[in-house]
Structure 1
Amino acid sequence: MFSFFRKKPAATPAPAPSTTGGSLIGSALVQPMEIPVPAPVAPERQSWMERLSAGLRKTGSSISQVFTGAVIDETLYEELETALLMADTGVAATQFLLDEVRRKVQQTGATRPVQAKNILVDALTKLLLPLQKELVIGEHQPTVIMVAGVNGAGKTTSIGKLTKHLADDGETVLLAAADTFRAAAREQLAVWADRNKVEIVSQEGGDPAAVSFDAVTAGKARGKDVVIVDTAGRLPTQLHLMEELRKIKRVVTKAEPSGPHEVLLVIDGNTGQNALSQVKTFDDALKLTGLVVTKLDGTAKGGVLAAIAQEKPVPVYFIGVGEKLEDLETFNAREFALALLQ
């Protein structure tokens, strides 16, 4: 199975400086240039690409239709602008992509629409690349992950899937059921804990911050690798609930001064520009370190990731295209661009 996580390697001493002059290739003085070599696509990843492409087909076909003509002209650019905006790419990202395509078409002398489409794939990859980042487990013990999101975004389900993949990677996980306002959330998280054979800290009607504190304290005492805190779903307009999220974060820091090490926001890919608004609001309140984008399974427009990359580039750790465990995967900019513009 494709591994979601990379443990930070132990530090190794740098080679001693040369006394004979010249540069030390591979030493602390001069690092060799890394030339990426495409790795063979594993069957699991190929299967994921097929599911992602299927999920983004509605958006992709609308954009690809722009490139079915015979020439690259102003009509093509106007239709592309409309298609990108309809895909929830946003004004700023749409302008960036159009400018990149125009510039590259002129620079290369491209004349066929299929060439312009390939240029757009490269431009979208370039735009999305800052969002591509691995979730690192092992730099802290435990790694404390706080997860937020509005009701219905798939927050608790995403935590369950994340827990499963962590457990499969050999990590010991403890869950904190700090969504104490919704009994169903605690029950749902308890099911995932039982299914994955991990421990859970839960209190019926308890204070969310107290549950979070107890869980982090327990995780440290029991030597757990990861503690995941599931917070109550809320709208960013509910100011008193957003303040509670800040309180949870402060209390987690009291239990573990270096934590929380990750603050993730789960967003529904179907909500378009509203998802970008959520990212901005939750980041202002919590200083997000990463995103999980769910429900890219046929109805989502997908372009919102370009808007996020242009206006609020918070890393996207995972994207999901369905309810199954294998429907949550790591985000790869090139893969997403190819799937969106299939």
Structure 2
Amino acid sequence: MGLFDKFKRGLAKSRDALFGRLTGLFHGRKLDEALYEELEEVLLAADVGFETAMWLVERVRRLAREQKATDGSELPGLLQQAMEEALEDNDPSMKVAETGPSLYLFVGVNGVGKTTSIGKLAHHFKAEGKKVLVAAGDTFRAAAIEQLMEWGNRSGVDVIRHTQGADPAAVIYDAIAAARARSADVILCDTAGRLHNKANLMAELAKIHKVVERELPGAPHEVLLVVDGTTGQNALLQAKSFLEVANVTGMIVTKLDGTAKGGVLLPIVREFHIPVKWVGLGEQMDDLEPFSPKAFAEAICQAPESAS
């Protein structure tokens, strides 16, 4: 299955919700101010957010003027162009170490799919021929260690772990030592998902950063914030909270196949200026994909097959 087909399948609920509302707007209508106001309401209902919805409507207006578009049937194509423009600066590439292993740190609250994303990325990198190690740095929650062990077994990668309650920085220190000894290419490090006590989390992350920077200069090469796409605007609130305590360099948006709120990706990129690196488009091992703005915009704005 090609990348566009994966996005089309994974974003089916978001596309059906958005296009179903758009159909009522452009059918037999002219592009006028009344239609643009209704488009804004549709975008807000799709969890695009107020600021980004206003921005998109203004871009659609501009594109319509430039292309001399007057018919409502041209609206989906114009909206697709505007979405691609909104996401054009998004760079999904992952920073790689010049020498030695690349270390990626994962942050995010419990239940967003952080452990699952680590497991899927381990599978992805292994399929590329890389040797991967996983560090079970969320020692606060015993279930997190068990879940990573299960994903390690499924992916065929080693998991470095300590007992529940151990020092997370010590786990990651051991993972770096193991990576050197085993000539690993990638280290994927889980961290605790609690956010109710920001001071503790900040102290924990600061200690992890100190150990990582000392043992592996230039690391962490990415700090990836994982958010749950099904929560819509709540994903934005989570992102704001973690941006206050972690040096986030990229985001992973999970569970997009299970929601009609895929529009939340747009304000995540536009308002936080942090790239979405990966998106979860299904439950299979290979359903975590590098984010493609073009595939996303096309999959969201294309008519469902039943409507074509």
Asked whether the two chains share a fold, i.e. TM above 0.5, the reply is yes
Cα distance in 1, alignment partners of residues 194 and 20 from structure 2: 33
Displacement, 1:234? 1.9
Name the structure 1 match of 2:299: 339
Gapped runs of 5+ residues in structure 1?
A: 1-42
**TM-score using structure 1 length:** 0.82
Cα distance in 2, alignment partners of residues 146 and 221 from structure 1: 20
Cα distance in 1, alignment partners of residues 139 and 205 from structure 2: 13
- Asked if the contact 2:230–2:258 (Cα under 8 Å) also holds between the matched residues in 1, the reply is no
Larger Rg: 1
Displacement, 1:193? 1.5
Name the structure 2 match of 1:280: 240
What letter corresponds to residue 129 of structure 1 in structure 2? E
Name the structure 1 match of 2:67: 108
- Listed one character per residue, the Cα deviations across residues 263-314 of structure 1 (whole Å, up to 9, x for unaligned) are 1011100122221222233233222111110011242411111112221121
Displacement, 1:63? 4.5
Cα distance in 2, alignment partners of residues 86 and 222 from structure 1: 50
Q: Which runs of 4+ in 1 moved over 6 A?
A: none
Q: Structure 1 or 2: larger helix share?
A: 2
Name the structure 2 match of 1:29: none
Secondary structure of the corresponding residue to residue 51 of structure 1: helix
What letter corresponds to residue 149 of structure 1 in structure 2? G
Higher-RCO chain (CA-CA 8 Å, sequence separation at least 6)? 2
Name the structure 1 match of 2:225: 265
- Aligned counterpart for 2:8 among listed residues 33, 50, 53: 50
- Listed one character per residue, the Cα deviations across residues 45-83 of structure 1 (whole Å, up to 9, x for unaligned) are 354133124242343234423322421122211111111
Name the structure 1 match of 2:110: 151
- Asked if the contact 1:236–1:278 (Cα under 8 Å) also holds between the matched residues in 2, the reply is no
- Asked if the contact 1:62–1:83 (Cα under 8 Å) also holds between the matched residues in 2, the reply is no
Gapped runs of 5+ residues in structure 2?
A: 303-308
Secondary structure of the corresponding residue to residue 61 of structure 2: helix
Secondary structure of the corresponding residue to residue 104 of structure 2: strand
Work out whether 1:173 is the aligned partner of 2:132: yes
Work out whether 1:117 is the aligned partner of 2:76: yes
Work out whether 1:89 is the aligned partner of 2:48: yes
Work out whether 1:202 is the aligned partner of 2:161: yes
Displacement, 1:236? 6.1
- Listed one character per residue, the Cα deviations across residues 136-188 of structure 1 (whole Å, up to 9, x for unaligned) are 44534200000111111000001000000111111001110011111111111
Cα distance in 2, alignment partners of residues 82 and 101 from structure 1: 14
| Alpha-carbon spacing, 1:50–1:109, altered in 2? closer, same or farther (3 Å) | closer
- Asked if the contact 2:11–2:281 (Cα under 8 Å) also holds between the matched residues in 1, the reply is no
- Asked if the contact 2:198–2:245 (Cα under 8 Å) also holds between the matched residues in 1, the reply is no
Cα distance in 1, alignment partners of residues 239 and 28 from structure 2: 37
Name the structure 2 match of 1:225: 185
- Listed one character per residue, the Cα deviations across residues 189-226 of structure 1 (whole Å, up to 9, x for unaligned) are 11121222222210112111111111122212322101
Cα distance in 1, alignment partners of residues 300 and 135 from structure 2: 36
| Alpha-carbon spacing, 1:242–1:288, altered in 2? closer, same or farther (3 Å) | same
Secondary structure of the corresponding residue to residue 135 of structure 1: coil
- Asked if the contact 1:172–1:226 (Cα under 8 Å) also holds between the matched residues in 2, the reply is yes
Work out whether 1:293 is the aligned partner of 2:253: yes
- Listed one character per residue, the Cα deviations across residues 76-113 of structure 1 (whole Å, up to 9, x for unaligned) are 11111111111121122111111111122123221111
Supply the RMSD in Å over aligned alpha carbons: 1.8
| Alpha-carbon spacing, 1:53–1:272, altered in 2? closer, same or farther (3 Å) | closer
Q: How many residues are aligned here?
A: 300
**TM-score using structure 2 length:** 0.91
Work out whether 1:132 is the aligned partner of 2:124: no
| Alpha-carbon spacing, 1:44–1:264, altered in 2? closer, same or farther (3 Å) | same
Secondary structure of the corresponding residue to residue 105 of structure 2: strand
Cα distance in 2, alignment partners of residues 246 and 134 from structure 1: 25
Cα distance in 1, alignment partners of residues 42 and 99 from structure 2: 44
